[in-house]
Structure 1
Amino acid sequence: MLFAGESWMKHTIHMKGFDQFHTTEYEEGAGEFLAALDREGFPVTYIRGHEISSRFPRTMTELDEFDVVVLSDIGSNSFLLPDETFLRSERSTNRLALLRDWTRAGGGLVMIGGYMSFTGIDGKARFGMTPLADVLPVVMLDHDDRIEESEGVKADFDQPAHEVLGGTPAEWPLLLGYNRVIAKPEATTVARAGDDPLLVVGQAGEGRSVAFTSDLAPHWAPPEFVGWPHYQQFWASVLRWAARASS
């Protein structure tokens, strides 16, 4: 599995009366998710957000080393503006078009929600304007798509016995938000938050794609979800379902 995203840098200005000072911190949010996959025995290549320009595959041969690619909370600009293009105005591979073609050829694609997933906060993730929109099982909005539910939102299941759930209970701990999307007509909505899709799966050529519109970690996935006894089984099942695309 190739996992990209879920890392960030935080620059803080501390004001203390007349004086101020700055601190910068680096953080990662996928610790429990990656630990769960490790316990399942999944080999994972983790590409952090700031590494995408240099490490994310640029050829079909490189992508073919993986069965599943997971994008989580990392916007499209990180793929569309590699250093050679943004800094030196050089032509470069469109890695989202490459990922689309790889999925259609039999790969498994999973997008997990967050402030920089789907359309994202202030519309900045903007995946709906990229080639990847062709193979995701959902249509993305053209504006900020976040739904914040501080009181908690319950998942309802249209397909409680779907294979992607791997036999996990059709009863999730409450979530605190998600990205609003629209399921494509040919896709299958497995779980919803009210009328909005939470888990959607679909076929993309010879491949499979999955959209989980909430989070794998805080803040939308509270400790009750991350610590859910079926958390590991659920994510392992999602990835196994996506990986069985070409086979």
Structure 2
Amino acid sequence: MRVLLLGESWFIHLIHQKGFDSFTNSEYQEGGHEFKAVLRARDWVVDHIPAHRIADDMPTTVEGLRAYDCVVISDVGANTFLLTPSVFRTSASEPNRLAAIREYVLTGGALLMVGGYLSFSGIDGKARYGQSPLADLLPVDVLSGDDRVEAPEGVQPKVLTAHPALPDETTEWPALLGYNRTTARDDGDLLVTVGPDPLIAVRQVGQGRTGVFTSDLAPHWAPPPFLSWPGYPELWARLITWLAAR
């Protein structure tokens, strides 16, 4: 299996104020380490393109995307795919990367969107996938505006039905600390809820399949008990395997 992970990276800029004086520093971080580790432990190939490298490194054609069994978008907004430096700075015309993912799915590919502050609608509505070429492919409808549900007390996932995309783990799933609120589509399969909303849903669309996990694959919404849960590796392996129709 070959998986393309898009996103899961960020830059941090800090101001340190010490009395009269201040100074700044910056750092770069990548996430999704646990997710990548459990898939690579199965000898899968996981190519990770961080958010700031999408404009340069992501395949822009359906043929290039077909090298992968599944494309995973996690915590990177639609603008990163649409407003590349060439388009934004020089008004150049270039391929629509989200339209390429759409065609890849409709012709037999697999897409998984994982939640985060810049997934689905996202913080302050900035992720904007509800206005993107992917909107009508997902098994859920993306809301307008800020869709985050913050649950510092923890919110419990509830499995609605057995499905090959879910782990066999029969114990109670660990609580999550938040998720992106969406609404389930009638033509998708809602498998797991969190609070009153979808957590995991899947859908056959065209010749391909799409799925969502509306919480995070890493902190902060996915706390340490979820990452160390015995069902965590099987969850991602089974979900991606089903989406790839393997």
TM range (shorter): over 0.9
Query: Are 1:135 and 2:125 counterparts?
Result: no
Query: Are 1:195 and 2:196 counterparts?
Result: yes
State the alpha-carbon separation in 2 of the partners of residues 225 and 241 from structure 1: 22
Q: TM (normalized to structure 2)?
A: 0.97
Amino acid at match of 1:6: E
State the alpha-carbon separation in 1 of the partners of residues 170 and 47 from structure 2: 29
State the alpha-carbon separation in 1 of the partners of residues 171 and 79 from structure 2: 35
State the alpha-carbon separation in 2 of the partners of residues 92 and 183 from structure 1: 33
Q: Which residue is equivalent to 2:49?
A: 47
Q: Which residue is equivalent to 2:92?
A: 90
Indicate if the aligned counterparts of 1:165 and 1:234 stay in contact, CA closer than 8 A: yes
Matches within 5 A, 1:199-214: 199-214=200-215
Query: Are 1:154 and 2:153 counterparts?
Result: no
Q: TM (normalized to structure 1)?
A: 0.97
State the alpha-carbon separation in 1 of the partners of residues 104 and 20 from structure 2: 56
Q: Which residue is equivalent to 1:4?
A: 6
2:21 to 19, 22, 34: 19
Q: Which residue is equivalent to 1:224?
A: 225
Indicate if the aligned counterparts of 1:150 and 1:176 stay in contact, CA closer than 8 A: yes
Indicate if the aligned counterparts of 1:72 and 1:111 stay in contact, CA closer than 8 A: yes
Amino acid at match of 2:66: D
Residue 104 of structure 1: how far off its partner (Å): 0.8
Amino acid at match of 1:18: F
1:44-64 CA deviation, whole Å, 9 max, x = no partner? 111001100101111111011
Q: Which residue is equivalent to 2:166?
A: 165
Residue 170 of structure 1: how far off its partner (Å): 6.0
Q: Which residue is equivalent to 1:242?
A: 243
3-state SS of the aligned residue for 2:90?
coil
1:75 to 69, 73, 77: 77
State the alpha-carbon separation in 2 of the partners of residues 169 and 222 from structure 1: 20
Amino acid at match of 2:172: E
Query: Are 1:186 and 2:187 counterparts?
Result: yes
1:33-87 CA deviation, whole Å, 9 max, x = no partner? 1111110111111100110010111111101111100000010010001221111
3-state SS of the aligned residue for 1:85?
helix
State the alpha-carbon separation in 1 of the partners of residues 121 and 171 from structure 2: 27
Amino acid at match of 1:185: D
Q: Which residue is equivalent to 2:37?
A: 35
Indicate if the aligned counterparts of 1:82 and 1:92 stay in contact, CA closer than 8 A: no
Identity %: 49
3-state SS of the aligned residue for 2:135?
helix
Structure 2 residue ranges without an equivalent (≥5): none
Residue 17 of structure 1: how far off its partner (Å): 0.2
3-state SS of the aligned residue for 2:81?
helix
3-state SS of the aligned residue for 1:11?
strand
